[in-house]
Structures are given as C-alpha cells and as structure tokens.
Amino acid sequence: MQRKILLTFLFSVILGGLSFSQVNPSSRYIPGKTPVGFESEINAFLKQDSVSFPPSGAVLFAGSSTIRKWDNLAVDFKEITVIRRGFGGSTMEALNYYLNDIVLPYRPATIVVYEGDNDLAAGVTPDKLIARSDTFITRVHQQLPHTTIWFLSVKPSFARKHLISLQTATNQGLKKLARKRPMTKFIDISRVMKDLKGKLRKDLFESDSLHVNSECYRLWAEYMKKTMGIKK
C-alpha cells in the first residue's frame, strides 16, 4: 500500500513538473556572440518567454523587419492567436540558427516565414536562399511534422529595385519548393501591392521606400487570410 501511495505521489509530482515547465519555462539566454549576430534581439524574446510563454498551437510569424515592424499583427489577424518573432536585418541563415530558441519551443500549428530581403541584399544567391529554406522545412518537420509552413514572397520595393530579378528568381524557387515539400505553402504578397496598371504603389511604403506601412500590412492580412483559409 505504501509503495502504491509513493508511486502515485511521484507520478503526480512528475506531471506537475511538466505542466509547470510548459507554463513557466526556465529562463534561457544567449551568453555571448554567435556566428550570425542578433543576440540582444533573441535574448529579448527569451526574456519575454520567461515571463509569459506563448500557448502552443498558435500561428508563429518569424523573419526579418517585415515581421518585426508589423505592429498591428494581432489586430490584423484578430481571428487567430499569433506570435510575432521578427528581428530586423535577419536572414534565413539566422532564422535557422535560432530555430531552437524562437521557433520550435512554441510548437506552433502554423509558421509564416518572411526572409530573403536581406539575404539577397547581402549577396546570397537565390539558390542558396532556397537551400536554406529547405533546411528550415526539414528541421521544423523533424520535430513538428504536422505544422504547416507558409513562405511569404520577397516583397518588391523602390529601395531595392535593383534586386528585382533576384527577388523574382527567389520567389519562383520558393513556389517550386512549396509544391515539392509536404505541409509547405507559398503566398505571393506582392499581388496586392500594385495599382490597376500593374505598377508598385508608393503609398504603401514608409519614407525609406523599403519598409511597408500599416495600410500595406492590412492588405497583406486580408489576402493572406483568404489564401490560408482563416475565417473571419
């Protein structure tokens, strides 16, 4: 009888510990410099997680400043629970590096990825970027096989119009990759950024002609929700 009581007690302690760890994960941080940088940004996310850890099964938006500056993300996607993990200047290489810090621990049902802008500007070839995106898919699905991954197209901009041919090649590669890999999809967000004549709208950009404004984000959200099947 005493053994049975002891086993019951130990089992309850283990379950309690698991439940507690899911709600209040132990504090983690990046102790020093990494090969890809962005340590302070990642540590800020980890600190935030230690205070209030996001629920599993949410929709994770990850990537560069296009995600980081989406201040109205929760409002634009009010129909779902979102987690925003964008860090300005990031690349696909950096996102892969921090996969175990700001992607996998959340166990999201869906991941929306925006990378490529900074990669191409830094000289990364479209083929290399697609290969790194493929690595991202593999690593995510090794741990989360039922998680859907949506890649957003690299957006056109006036500040980086000299990269348009590389952006086009990258987007074509991402589209092909999404067709090849299970649980992986592609959204061309540039489709809502042009006027009736097919020209890029200047009124959708901030003064730097690179980052988009709240109206562009709103248009993206409406188009994405229809494409992703998110009901209002």
Contact 61, 73 (CB under 8 A): yes
pTM above the 0.85 mark? yes
Per residue in 39-93, pLDDT tens?
999 999 999 999 999 999 999 999 999 999 999 999 999 999 999 999 999 999 9
pLDDT at 163: 97
Q: What pLDDT is stored for residue 13 in this prediction?
A: 35
Tell me phi and psi for residue 194, to 5 degrees. -120, 155
Identify the band that residue 6 occupies on the pLDDT scale cut at 50, 70 and 90: very low
Buried residues in 183-193 as b, exposed as e (16+ CB within 10 A): bbbbbbbbebb
CB 90 within 8 A of CB 40: no
Q: Quote the distance between the C-alpha of residue 49 and its chain's center.
A: 16
**Packed helices 164-180 and 126-143: angle between N→C axes, nearest 10 degrees:** 30
177 contacts 184 by C-beta, under 8 angstroms: yes
Note the pLDDT tens digit of each residue in 144-167.
999 999 999 999 999 999 999 999
Q: In terms of Cα–Cα distance, which of 66, 11, 87, 81 is closest to 189? A: 66
Reported in sequence order, the residue ranges of 2-129 that DSSP labels E, i.e. its strands, are 59-63, 82-86, 110-114
Domains of the chain: 2-228 (3.40.50.1110)
Q: pLDDT of 16-36, one tens digit each?
A: 333 333 434 446 789 999 999
85 by DSSP, 3-state: which?
strand
Q: Are 64 and 114 in contact (CB under 8 A)?
A: yes
